[in-house]
Amino acid sequence: MPESGLRQRLEENVRAVRQRMELACQRAQRPVSAVRLVAVTKYAQPAWMRELFSLGELDWGENRPQQLASRAGEFPETVRWHLIGTLQRNKAQLAARHAAVVHSVDSVRLLETLEKQAATCQRTLPVLLEVNISGEAQKHGFTPAELLAVAGAAPATPHLSIEGLMTMAPHSDLPEESRGVFRGLRELRDRLREQVPAWPLRDLSMGMSGDFEVAIEEGATLVRVGSALWEGLEALSPHSLNK
Ligand SMILES: *Cc1c(COP(=O)(O)O)cnc(C)c1O
């Protein structure tokens, strides 16, 4: 039966990812509970997501606020939705209403807009500040220098909790090549912590399918994993056209 084949393959993928996470935690002498798996669902079919839900994986990442909002309405409220993609200020309201965490705050103006929207929703919204550690021109995020400057003069954001930092490493087939970027994010977090004691800065969101082990070794608390979870599922999904 195609459905059970799908479930079995997904279960294997999840187990493999969890095992890679555990081994990385062991190498880094960190407890397994220190790292959360955010399953990136941006390319996942709803049928795959229903299986993932039944496997008990409840942290899900979406890139687009519209898709996050519409999918949040289709799945149980126990799912924690992480917005990981670029957020335009005119979509901040969707994020403030539906996201459990926003990983991609890349400007002071966005921080201010999210503060207003979170206040309107009468909630405290956890956010991460996105940092462009690698310095690539096409990447979003604060530069480290900007962030250190901003931190000294940050607007009051009583409805936001600045939980940490997020970064994307440059694309590479060699996971080791991401290590410097991940270490840079951790060191920046450590400096910011001294500078702004009001910001909790517990989280480091870094590492994707190809390099999350290296990220864990460098202190990641949230790894954003998509393709490694969905490998092989397309071939087992005969109804992919009418998702
Ligand atoms: C798509 C995406 C991921 C997941 O990437 P994979 O290589 O599929 O694991 C992680 N973070 C962000 C911001 C993404 O857009």
Sign of CA dihedral 118, 123, 124, 125: negative
- Tell me what percent of the residues of the chain surpass a pLDDT of 90: 88
CA distance 52 to 38: 12
> What separation in Å is there between the alpha carbon of 16 and the centre of ligand 1?
17
pLDDT of amino acid 230: 98
CA distance 24 to 239: 36
Counting ligand 1 atoms within 8 A of each CB, the residue from 17, 36, 40 with the most, and so the one to mutate, is 40
Task: Specify the ligand 1 atom closest to the Cα of 209.
Answer: 9
> What separation in Å is there between the alpha carbon of 122 and the centre of ligand 1?
30
Task: Specify the ligand 1 atom closest to the Cα of 227.
Answer: 8
Which residue, among 101, 93, 106, 196, has the nearest Cα to 154 in the 3D structure?
Answer: 196
Look at residue 3 and tell me whether its pLDDT is greater than 70: no
- Say whether 40 sits in a helix, a strand or coil: strand
* Tens-digit pLDDT profile for residues 103-122: 999 999 999 999 999 999 99
Look at residue 243 and tell me whether its pLDDT is greater than 80: no
* Tens-digit pLDDT profile for residues 158-195: 999 999 999 999 999 999 999 999 999 999 999 999 99
The domain over range 2-233 is classified in CATH as 3.20.20.10: yes
Counting ligand 1 atoms within 8 A of each CB, the residue from 67, 134, 224 with the most, and so the one to mutate, is 224
pLDDT of amino acid 240: 54
Domain boundaries, the chain: 2-233
Under DSSP, the state recorded for 34 is: G
Q: What is the mean pLDDT of residues 217-230?
A: 98
Say which amino acid occupies 110.
L
* Tens-digit pLDDT profile for residues 44-54: 999 999 999 99
Nearest CA to ligand 1 atom 11: 224
CA distance 178 to 210: 10
pTM for the model stands at: 0.96
Task: Specify the ligand 1 atom closest to the Cα of 104.
Answer: 13
> What separation in Å is there between the alpha carbon of 55 and the centre of ligand 1?
21
Which residue, among 187, 166, 169, has the nearest Cα to 179 in the 3D structure?
Answer: 169
Residue 129 · residue 142 · CB < 8 Å? yes
pLDDT of amino acid 4: 81
> What separation in Å is there between the alpha carbon of 205 and the centre of ligand 1?
11
Ligand 1 pocket by Cβ (under 6 Å): 40, 42, 63, 84-85, 168, 208-210, 224-228
Look at residue 59 and tell me whether its pLDDT is greater than 60: yes
> What separation in Å is there between the alpha carbon of 171 and the centre of ligand 1?
11
> What separation in Å is there between the alpha carbon of 62 and the centre of ligand 1?
9
